[in-house]
Amino acid sequence: MASQVLFNRALVNRFINFSSKRLVSVSSKKNDTVAVEACKTETKPNKNWMSYGYDRKDKSKDRFYGHMSFFMSITLALTLGSFFFAYMPDHTYKDWAQREAYIELARREKNGLPLIDPNIVDVNRIQLPSDEELGNTEIII
């Protein structure tokens, strides 16, 4: 609670200090005009300029390289990257497996075989252990 009061007091003090420094007076003379000669000003470094980190001395180069890097990373990388991933070949072979299954089903129908063979592996090739080898082992079917 005390920290909140101190924080609020600091905000009020900061606002009062800013508002007292930024007063603007308006003249009541509406028809007075002032002529000023155009003068050349020296190019001073902008003190409020924050660099993007590409060039600390030249503002135009820094902005160019900053905008170019954002363009390359966002526009090109995301757009072309998503295009690449959308049209890259099927590395899981899901489409290939489905096509092969349709071909196998068509072959089985043409030859009059059952669509799914109940004996996937030939029964003669299976070697089961004998009752003596199994012993008292529980068999769950």
Cβ neighbours of residue 56 closer than 8 Å, sequence gap 6 or more: 62
Cβ neighbours of residue 69 closer than 8 Å, sequence gap 6 or more: 54
Q: Which two tokens stand for residue 116?
A: 């799914």
Top pLDDT among 39 and 132 is at 132
List pLDDT tens digits, range 31-52. 665 555 555 555 555 678 888 8
Where residue 68 falls among pLDDT bands split at 50, 70, 90?
Answer: very high
Burial 97-136 (b: 16+ CB within 10 A, else e): eeeeeeeeeeeeeeeeeeeeeeeeeeeeeeeeeeeeeeee
- Left, alpha or beta for 93 (phi > 0: left; psi -120 to 50: alpha)? left
Which residue reads 């003249």 in tokens? 27
- Residue of 65, 69, 89 whose CA lies nearest to 77: 69
Averaged pLDDT score across all residues of the chain: 78
pTM of the model: 0.34
